[in-house]
């Protein structure tokens, strides 16, 4: 087992990794930018190293500085968390070159799933259903028009290098040229890669993801699913496990497909296979996240399993200890962000003057914030994650509503009012929602 792990991340996920490492008897090294000097992960780690200025490019994305921090502290492993360099094959490769274990998949595995076109081809060979579309990057707007004629409108243009940016829905040929060039420009700005591909646009889908784990001995399992359909501009707001949309037969079928997807690249680590499921319950592979995810706590709660510990053990060469799960509990996670839901979710950085976190049976809070903490404007606006777990989905919603009512944060605007309203929304309570839910949601 590792003696010392450097966490190449910040905020709540860095603190989450530190806690599991401490339980495992592993020393930890926190890294931080000048803007994060007072963050809790810096205070809770055994050692802490400043790696640069407030901008991500100066610190958390600065590979030479991260490697220098690992070497001067004699860390024998690096945990990347999520975001930043977590799915960066170059970073994983550099760690290998320096004899420092990257707690995640190999560079080849990251590359295989990081490029969406390559990933799609891999899934087709593995017999995993994929959304009809282009089998290669679209080099010209004429290519886009021709593929759209074959697939049939509406279609979705997507960046091959990542998600959330460089995406455009095109419903008719007259809009294709402008959409194609706009998507390329946005993709280049976000990922330094303007590659664009096309998929059939699935109307009113559900976003369902399966947690998977694999080891170097060829063992693969899935650890149940999460429903991430409550989104705004392709960014998740609420996640839950299990999904209210799936039934047992479909859950088993999708779980087997998720395992085939992971096995197709001999996956080693924990990761997530993301699917779109249409109104007829037909499902399609969307992408694989080769890292731990923000919403991993809901899976941990419904199956009583530490995914970070599993990730570390796999990286240390141990066999997976998980198995295929059908959860017996229900869990919901609300992302508490420093954003103003009454003002189009505008970011609200600043100093938290008052903070009281909820508690009680079935309530978990993963957060790095405290009264007096200043939320910097340079990073994601996540303050914390509130997780409620109960025997039934209805009880989990009621527990969540009670916990949200107790959550007090002053000094910055937060998404708590949004979540309170959502927990009382009839469509959400009945489970009759999909990824289009937020298009018709209005704050009261």
| Residues acting as catalytic residues | 291
Cis-peptide into 154, omega within 30 deg: yes
Q: What are the two backbone dihedrals, phi and then psi, of residue 81, each rounded to the nearest 5 degrees?
A: 65, -140
Q: List 33's β-bridge partners, or say none.
A: 52
Q: What are the Cα distances from residue 317, in Å, to 4, 80, 314?
A: 16, 18, 5
Q: Is 215 helix (H, G, I), strand (E, B) or coil?
A: coil
Q: Answer yes or no: are the C-beta atoms of 189 and 228 closer than 8 Å.
A: no
Strands 77-79 and 4-7: parallel
Cis-peptide into 242, omega within 30 deg: yes
CA distance 30 to 329: 34
Indicate if the alpha-carbon torsion angle 206, 207, 211, 216 is positive or negative: positive
CA distance 50 to 29: 11
3 state SS for 41-99:
HHHHCCEEEEEECCCHHHCCCCHHHHHHHHHHCCCCEEECCCCCCCCCHHHHHHHHHCC
HSE of 153 in the Cβ direction (CA atoms, 13 Å)?
13
Q: Which two tokens stand for residue 8?
A: 């190449």
CA distance 307 to 318: 14
Residue 223 parent element (H or E): strand 220-232
Q: Which two tokens stand for residue 28?
A: 């930890």
Measured CA angle at 278 (ends 274, 280), to 5 deg:
135
Q: Which residues contact 33 (CB under 8 A, 6 or more apart)?
A: 10, 50, 51, 52, 53, 54, 55, 56, 58, 59, 60, 378
Q: Which two tokens stand for residue 195?
A: 């590659």
């Amino acid at each position: 087992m590792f003696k010392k792990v450097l966490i190449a991340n910040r905020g709540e996920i860095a603190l989450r990794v530190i806690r599991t490492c401490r339980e495992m008897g592993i020393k930890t090294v926190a890294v931080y930018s000048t803007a994060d000097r007072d963050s809790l992960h810096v205070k809770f780690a055994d050692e802490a190293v400043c790696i640069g200025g407030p901008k991500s490019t100066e610190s958390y994305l600065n590979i030479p500085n991260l490697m220098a921090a690992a070497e001067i502290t004699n860390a024998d492993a690096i945990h990347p968390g999520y975001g930043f360099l977590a799915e960066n094959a170059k970073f994983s490769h550099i760690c290998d070159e320096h004899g420092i274990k990257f707690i995640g998949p190999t560079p080849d595995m990251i590359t295989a799933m990081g490029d969406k076109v390559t990933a799609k081809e891999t899934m087709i060979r593995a017999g995993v259903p994929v959304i009809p579309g282009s089998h290669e990057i679209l080099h010209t707007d004429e290519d886009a028009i021709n593929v759209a004629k074959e697939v049939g409108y509406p279609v979705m243009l997507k960046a091959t290098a990542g998600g959330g940016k460089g995406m455009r829905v095109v419903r008719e040929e007259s809009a294709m040229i402008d959409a194609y060039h706009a998507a390329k420009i946005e993709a280049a700005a976000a990922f330094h890669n303007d590659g664009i591909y096309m998929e059939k646009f699935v109307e009113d889908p559900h976003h369902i993801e399966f947690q998977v784990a694999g080891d170097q001995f060829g063992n693969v399992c899935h650890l149940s699913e999460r429903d991430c359909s409550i989104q705004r501009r392709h960014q998740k707001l609420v996640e839950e496990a299990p999904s209210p949309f799936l039934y047992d037969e479909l859950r088993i079928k999708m779980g087997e497909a998720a395992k085939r997807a992971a096995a197709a690249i001999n996956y080693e680590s924990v990761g997530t296979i993301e699917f779109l499921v249409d109104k007829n319950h037909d499902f399609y592979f969307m992408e694989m996240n080769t890292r731990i995810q923000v919403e991993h706590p809901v899976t941990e709660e419904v199956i009583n399993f530490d995914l970070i510990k599993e990730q570390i053990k796999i990286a240390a060469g141990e066999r997976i200890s998980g198995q295929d799960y059908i959860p017996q509990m229900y869990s919901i996670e609300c992302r508490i962000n420093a954003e103003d839901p009454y003002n189009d979710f505008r970011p609200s950085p600043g100093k938290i003057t008052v903070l009281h976190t909820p508690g009680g049976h079935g309530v978990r809070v993963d957060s790095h914030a405290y009264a007096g903490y200043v939320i910097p404007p340079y990073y994601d606006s996540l303050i914390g994650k509130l997780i409620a777990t109960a025997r039934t989905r209805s009880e989990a919603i009621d527990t969540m509503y009670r916990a949200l009512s107790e959550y007090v944060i002053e000094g910055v605007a937060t998404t708590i009012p949004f979540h309170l309203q959502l927990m009382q929304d009839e469509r959400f309570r009945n489970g009759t929602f999909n990824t289009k839910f937020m298009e018709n949601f209005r704050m009261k």
